[in-house]
């Protein structure tokens, strides 16, 4: 049985990530941001009511229950997977039993196999949300396109003119780099062995000229790559900024302001890796493939040994990859949360200074930074172990390669000269360099994949002006009445705030709406201004329905003073 699990982007996402895991288990992929919207995830997480309503909107039959420890004796009879409340502040998915262990998908860490005793300790309040997909409503929905690293490559086509100049220079520099092993072979076999001083002078002049050409081409190439990288990053930042300005008010109310700063840093990481994949990796791959061909021409035996060494280096990366990916995600999530707290601190400085909350806040800040330090150190140690192991394999492999090649040179039947061995070793360095670059690329891709998922959360959010092109722009009379007819509204994850509410506000007059705190006065004003959408009912501004007017029309003629 395959257990699906989706990791959370921040600690508030645990409920949405649990629901995403269950939809994935039943064969449907929805973006985490879409599920956040339907369940009403806010700055303090997701409520059980929000999870129930969101699951029903996604096509599930949802039923919250409060069970007891006896359910563990009949766990195979329960409709699993289900969402359970974990340690009073977290949501996880319970899949059932596998052997003597209980399988739990924790959005914070992944799959966990717990003993029944550990499950009882964590599932203290025994709250549970049972979910079963409706055969019609659930499967009628289409899978969402999940943001991926390769999806950003469509933006590269806009800069094809720059790449058309940079990539040929890249391959030309690769060819010049391939000339070095042959010059080393000629120097060893034809110049030093024979003592040909004239040829030595000719080779020295050739090397100087080749270096001059290579340096000139590198200067042009570097400028083109820098221009490409900056244009690409500017495009991503502007697209991100345009999307941020078009997001609905609910997005700002359910996210920390510090997350915006984190997304800009994510764009920088994505841009660096895209530039590397487009420019650097093709060049190294080109050099490595040609080098491998010449290596096979020199000696099949040495080439097989070199490939075995390279495979061992790749295995080292595969071993460390899962733990590195998990730690990297935890570091990024924690850093984003701390940045959000710091930004909120500046915004709420007056609250800290006028209360006795400063010591508690310092303790919280120290705890958060301590966690970042511990996670970062753990991530760095995994990377160090990976690099040390790879370098050890590479170093020992080079010695073994020279030892084996030396034996082939000594053996006259192999027809391998000293110069050819040195040229082979140099070309093997090109191949090893590709492997090392790929290892580094995989490590960086692990970080960037998390960054892309977090950035896609913003870019994939439905803008508030979607569908405005089909709505009208009308001039609303200044004395038009505002009529609310049987409107209902509730904040995501909360009970009804306005239910079957009707009201007529006379036009051309100064009207005051009074009521106790939390009864919906400000909410009603935001609904009329088009900042919130009602769940049912109708609002008319004079002769026009509110929903028939585009946002530009509303924002210019219906003014809300914060």
Ranges of residues in the chain whose predicted pLDDT is under 50: none
In a domain, 364, yes or no: yes
Tell me which residue range forms the domain holding 496. Answer: 468-557
Q: Are residues 232 and 369 in the same domain?
A: yes
Q: How far apart (Å, rounded) are the C-alpha atoms in residues 272 and 230?
A: 10
- Neighbouring C-beta atoms of residue 538, cutoff 10 Å: 14
Q: Are residues 175 and 254 in the same domain?
A: yes
Burial class, 1, CB count within 10 angstroms (exposed 0-12 / middle 13-18 / buried 19+): exposed
User: Are the CB atoms for 392 and 286 separated by under 8 Å?
Assistant: no
Q: What is the pLDDT of residues 141-156, one digit of tens each?
A: 877 766 555 566 666 7
Q: Which CATH number covers residue 519?
A: 3.40.50.300
Q: What is the 3-state secondary structure (H, E, C) of 287-349?
A: HHHHHHHHHHHHCHHHHHHHHHHHHHHHHHHHHHHHHHHHHHHHHHHHHHHHHHHHHHHHHCH
pLDDT score at 332: 67
pLDDT score at 339: 67
Q: Are residues 449 and 519 in the same domain?
A: no
User: Are the CB atoms for 41 and 119 separated by under 8 Å?
Assistant: no
Q: Are residues 215 and 337 in the same domain?
A: yes
pLDDT score at 92: 92
User: Are the CB atoms for 291 and 427 separated by under 8 Å?
Assistant: yes
Which of 78, 106, 133 delimits the end of a domain? 133
User: Are the CB atoms for 85 and 127 separated by under 8 Å?
Assistant: yes
Q: Which CATH number covers residue 228?
A: 1.20.1560.10
SS3 assignment, position 45:
strand
Q: Are residues 163 and 62 in the same domain?
A: no
Q: What is the pLDDT of residues 316-338, one digit of tens each?
A: 777 777 777 777 767 766 776 67
Q: Are residues 125 and 204 in the same domain?
A: no
Q: How far apart (Å, rounded) are the C-alpha atoms in residues 316 and 371?
A: 28
pTM of the predicted model as reported, rounded to 2 decimal places: 0.64
SS3 assignment, position 512:
coil
Q: Kindly give the residue spans of alpha helices, DSSP state H, lying in 40-114.
A: 48-57
Q: Is 96 left (phi over 0), alpha (psi -120 to 50) or beta?
A: left
Q: How many residues are listed for the chain in this entry?
A: 562
Q: Are residues 285 and 346 in the same domain?
A: yes
In a domain, 142, yes or no: no
SS3 assignment, position 111:
strand
User: Are the CB atoms for 164 and 472 separated by under 8 Å?
Assistant: no
Indicate the number of domains in the chain.
3
Torsions phi, psi for 163 (to 5 deg): -65, -30
Q: Where are the beta strands (DSSP E) in 159-318?
A: none
User: Are the CB atoms for 108 and 14 separated by under 8 Å?
Assistant: yes
pLDDT score at 19: 93
pLDDT score at 500: 87
Q: Which CATH number covers residue 129?
A: 3.90.70.10
Q: Are residues 360 and 488 in the same domain?
A: no
Q: Are residues 108 and 174 in the same domain?
A: no
Burial class, 201, CB count within 10 angstroms (exposed 0-12 / middle 13-18 / buried 19+): exposed
Q: Are residues 212 and 249 in the same domain?
A: yes
What is the edge-to-edge ordering of all strands in the sheet holding 90-98? 60-66, 127-133, 82-86, 90-98, 101-106, 110-114
pLDDT score at 491: 79
In a domain, 203, yes or no: yes
pLDDT score at 23: 92
Q: How far apart (Å, rounded) are the C-alpha atoms in residues 45 and 50?
A: 10
In a domain, 140, yes or no: no
Q: Are residues 422 and 299 in the same domain?
A: yes
SS3 assignment, position 3:
coil
Q: Are residues 333 and 392 in the same domain?
A: yes
Provide the mean pLDDT of the chain. 81
User: Are the CB atoms for 161 and 87 separated by under 8 Å?
Assistant: no
In a domain, 449, yes or no: yes
CA 240 and chain centroid, separation: 15
């Amino acid at each position: 049985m395959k257990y699906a699990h989706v990791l959370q982007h921040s600690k508030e996402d645990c409920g949405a990530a649990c629901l995403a895991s269950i939809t994935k288990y039943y064969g449907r992929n929805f973006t985490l941001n879409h599920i956040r919207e339907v369940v009403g995830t806010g700055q303090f997480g997701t409520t059980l009511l929000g999870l129930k309503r969101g699951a029903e909107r996604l096509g599930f039959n949802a039923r919250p229950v409060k069970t007891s420890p006896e359910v563990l004796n009949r766990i195979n009879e329960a409709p699993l997977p289900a969402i359970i409340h974990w340690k009073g502040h977290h949501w996880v998915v319970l899949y059932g039993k596998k052997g003597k262990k209980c399988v739990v998908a924790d959005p914070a860490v992944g799959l966990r196999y717990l003993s029944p005793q550990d499950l009882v300790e964590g599932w203290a309040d025994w709250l549970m949300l049972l979910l079963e997909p409706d055969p019609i409503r659930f499967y009628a929905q289409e899978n969402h396109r999940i943001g991926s690293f390769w999806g950003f490559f469509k933006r590269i086509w806009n800069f094809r003119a720059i790449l058309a100049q940079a990539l040929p220079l890249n391959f030309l520099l690769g060819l010049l780099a391939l000339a070095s092993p042959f010059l080393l072979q000629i120097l060893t076999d034809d110049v030093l062995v024979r003592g040909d001083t004239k040829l030595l002078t000719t080779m020295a002049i050739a090397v100087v000229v080749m270096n001059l050409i290579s340096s000139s081409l590198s200067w042009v190439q570097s400028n083109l790559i820098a221009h490409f990288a900056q244009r690409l990053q500017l495009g991503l930042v502007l697209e991100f900024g345009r999307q941020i300005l078009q997001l609905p008010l609910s997005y700002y109310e359910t996210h920390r302001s510090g997350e915006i700063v984190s997304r800009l840093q994510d764009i920088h990481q994505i841009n660096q890796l895209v530039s590397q994949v487009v420019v650097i990796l093709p060049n190294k791959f080109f050099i490595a493939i040609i080098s491998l061909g010449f290596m096979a021409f020199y000696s099949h035996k040495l080439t097989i040994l070199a490939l075995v060494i390279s495979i061992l280096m790749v295995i080292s990366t595969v071993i460390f990859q899962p733990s590195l990916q998990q730690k990297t995600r935890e570091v990024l999530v924690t850093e984003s949360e701390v940045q959000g707290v710091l930004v909120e601190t500046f915004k709420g400085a007056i609250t800290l200074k006028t209360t006795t909350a400063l010591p508690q806040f310092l303790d919280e800040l120290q705890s958060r930074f301590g966690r970042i330090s511990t996670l970062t150190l753990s991530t760095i140690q995994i990377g160090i172990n990976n690099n040390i192991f790879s370098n050890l394999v590479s170093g020992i492999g080079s010695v073994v390669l020279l030892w084996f090649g030396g034996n082939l040179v000594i053996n006259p039947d192999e027809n391998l000269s000293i110069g050819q061995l040195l040229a082979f070793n140099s070309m093997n360095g090109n191949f090893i360099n590709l492997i090392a670059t790929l290892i580094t690329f995989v490590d960086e891709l692990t970080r960037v994949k998390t960054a892309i998922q977090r950035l896609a959360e913003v870019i994939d959010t439905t803008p508030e002006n979607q569908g405005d092109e089909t709505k009208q722009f009308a001039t609303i009379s200044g004395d038009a009445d505002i009529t609310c007819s049987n409107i209902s509204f509730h904040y995501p994850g909360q009970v009804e705030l306005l239910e079957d509410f009707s009201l007529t506000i006379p036009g051309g007059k100064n009207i005051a709406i009074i009521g106790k705190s939390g009864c919906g006065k400000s909410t009603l004003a935001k609904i009329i201004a088009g900042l919130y959408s009602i769940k049912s009912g109708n609002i008319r501004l004079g002769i026009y329905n509110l929903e028939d007017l585009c946002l530009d029309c509303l924002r210019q003629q219906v003014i809300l003073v914060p």
